[in-house]
Amino acid sequence: MLKAPDYQVAGHKALDGQLGPLVDGSGRFYKPFQKDERGVQEVAFYTTFSSNTKILDHIRRFFPIFYGTQLVEASDGSGLCPHIVLQDLISNRIHLSIMDIKIGSRTWYPQASEDYFQKCIKKDRETTTVPLGFRISGLQAYESEESGFWKPNRKHVLDFTMNDVRSALRKFVSSNPSSDAEPDCSYASIVYGGSTGILAQLLELKAWFEDQTVFHFYSCSVLMLYEKQAVLEGRSDAEVKLVDFAHVFDGEGVIDHNFLGGLCSLIKFISEILTSPDQFSVKGGLQDSENNCFCSENSIKE
C-alpha cells in the first residue's frame, strides 16, 4: 500500500528501484533510515523533541508529528528496513507549490570530521549558503492546468546565484512562474503576507530561535508550501515546516546563531517582496549610496 509521494522537490526519490521515502496515502510518511549514523541521529532528535514538554504548540506545529519507527519494505527492494514514521505534510494537497530551503551559512558543525567539514564547506562556498545564509534545495510552483508546474531541475537549482534566489522567491508566488516575463507576484500578499502567512510564521520561528539554546540545527530545511486553488478562493493555507534533522546537536546553552542568521536573511528577502512586489531589481548598497568607493568585490585583493 506504500508508494512514492506525489510531490518531492529535494532528497532521494523512491523511484526506479532507488531508496526513498514512501507514503501510505492516509497521512503517514515513511522515511528510510539514512546510512551511517544519520538515521539513528534523526530518530534520536525526534524522540527528544517530541518528549520535551517545554516546547509549546505554536512552535511544535512547525515540526512533522513523529509516530515512531517501523520496519517496512524498502523502495529499493532490499527488504524490510527501518523507517521513521512521520506526519505526511502534503497528503490531501492538490497542485502543491513547495520550496525546500536549507538554512544556515554553514552546513558543517564544530564536531564534524575533517572529511565532512571539507565536503560541506566546498558546497557552502559554491552555493548561496555562504553569501545568503541559505540555499534553495528544490522547488515547484503550480501554474495552470495547461502549463503544469514550474520545476527547475535540481542541478540548476544548486547553481542558483543570489539573483536567481531573489527571482525564485518571486516566481514562487506568481501566476506566471514559468514565463520569461517578470514574475507578477500576484499571490505574494496572501501567501507571504497577512497575519497567518509565511512571513508571520517565519517571524514566530525567529522569536523561538532568538531564545532557545537546546537544539542546533545543521543542514535542516524550511519548507514553504501552499495550494494555488486555496489562494484563488481567497483562503491562505500557506505553511512553514522544518524537516531533516540528521544533524541536530545539543545547543549547550548557546543560541543557534547559524540558523537564526540565515532565517533572518530569508525573512528580509520575503519582506522586500511584500514591500515592493512589482519592483524586481538587483538591490544593493552600491546603487543606494552616494559614494561607492568602499570595498567592493573588485577592489579587494584580500
In the complex, which residues of this chain contact its own copies (CB under 8 A)?
A: 36-37, 41, 44-45, 47-49, 51-54, 105-106, 110-113, 115-116, 121, 125, 130-133, 162, 166, 210-211, 213-215, 247-255, 257-258, 260-262, 264-265, 267-268, 282-286, 288-297, 300-302
13 contact partners, CB below 8 Å, separation of at least 6? 4, 20
Distance CA 39, CA 231 (A): 37
CB of 94 to its own copies, least distance (A): 35
| Cβ atoms within 10 Å of 35's Cβ, excluding its own | 8
DSSP for 30-80, please give it. EEEPPTTTHHHHHHHHHHHHHH-TTS-HHHHTTS--EEEEEEEE-TTS--E
State the minimum distance, in angstroms, from the CB of residue 298 to its own copies.
9
Q: Which is nearer to its own copies, 148 or 284 (CB)?
A: 284
- Which residue, 82 or 261, has its beta carbon nearer to its own copies? 261
Evaluate whether 198 touches 270 at the Cβ level (below 8 Å).
yes
Q: 138 forms bridges with which residues in the sheet?
A: 100
CB of 3 to its own copies, least distance (A): 30
Taking phi first (over 0 means left), then psi (-120 to 50 degrees means alpha), and beta for anything else, what does residue 185 get? left
Kindly state the smallest distance separating residue 215's Cβ from its own copies, in Å. 7
Q: Residue 62 CB, nearest distance to its own copies (Å)?
A: 17
C-beta of 181 vs 295, nearer to its own copies: 295
Distance in angstroms between the alpha carbons of the first and the last residue of the chain: 58
Distance CA 81, CA 72 (A): 6
Nearer to its own copies, 92 or 118 (CB): 118
In the complex, the smallest distance separating the C-beta of residue 39 from its own copies, rounded to whole angstroms, is 12
Sheet strands (E) in 179-297: 215-217, 221-227, 239-243, 248-250
Cell 540548476 found at: 156
Nearer to its own copies by C-beta: 145 or 211? 211
Would you say 70 or 213 has its CB closer to its own copies? 213
Shortest gap between Cβ of 128 and its own copies (angstroms)? 9
Amino acid identity, residue 7? Answer: Y
Nearer to its own copies, 18 or 52 (CB): 52
